[in-house]
Amino acid sequence: NAGVTQTPKFQVLKTGQSMTLQCAQDMNHEYMSWYRQDPGMGLRLIHYSVGAGITDQGEVPNGYNVSRSTTEDFPLRLLSAAPSQTSVYFCASTGAGGTYNEQFFGPGTRLTVL
């Protein structure tokens, strides 16, 4: 099991550029989420998905799009990058069922927008 994988690890963009952060999991988890981590802010939820074909907004969705065409993949798209989107991005997945559900995190993508 590779768990949750994210690519790239690092990325530098210019303002206005677009890009896609990739996330994949091989645990057959239904729930997947994207968080951003900023100093002093903890982790904040951007978008999440409860299954293939279903997505919803989290706390800070503006400027980001997601889709969930398969159970395994949950890409995050920045349509027009802004310096305020400079952050570390974490993807996570959660299994369903049972008395609790642990979230497994990817290693993160460090994004800088100039």
Partner 1 sequence: GDSVTQMEGPVTLSEEAFLTINCTYTATGYPSLFWYVQYPGEGLQLLLKATKADDKGSNKGFEATYRKETTSFHLEKGSVQVSDSAVYFCALLNYGGSQGNLIFGKGTKLSVKP
Q: Which residues of the shown chain bind partner 1 in the complex (CB under 8 A)?
A: 31, 33, 35, 40-45, 48, 50, 56, 58, 90, 92, 94, 96, 99-103, 105-108
Cα 32 from Cα 6, distance rounded (Å): 13
The nearest distance, CB 94 to partner 1, in angstroms, is 6
Identity of the residue, 78 or 92, whose beta carbon is nearer to partner 1 in the bound complex: 92
Sort 78 into a burial class: Cβ within 10 Å, 0-12 / 13-18 / 19+: buried
- For partner 1, the closer of residues 57 and 70 by Cβ is 57
In angstroms, what is the minimal distance from the CB of 75 to partner 1?
18
Distance CA 59, CA 73 (A): 21
* Distance in angstroms (rounded) separating the CA atoms of residues 107 and 54: 24
Quick one: 8 or 16, whose CB is closer to partner 1? 8
User: In the structure encoding, which two tokens stand for residue 66, read together?
Assistant: 């997601």
Q: Give the shortest CB-45-to-partner 1 separation in angstroms.
A: 5
**3-state SS, residue 46:** strand
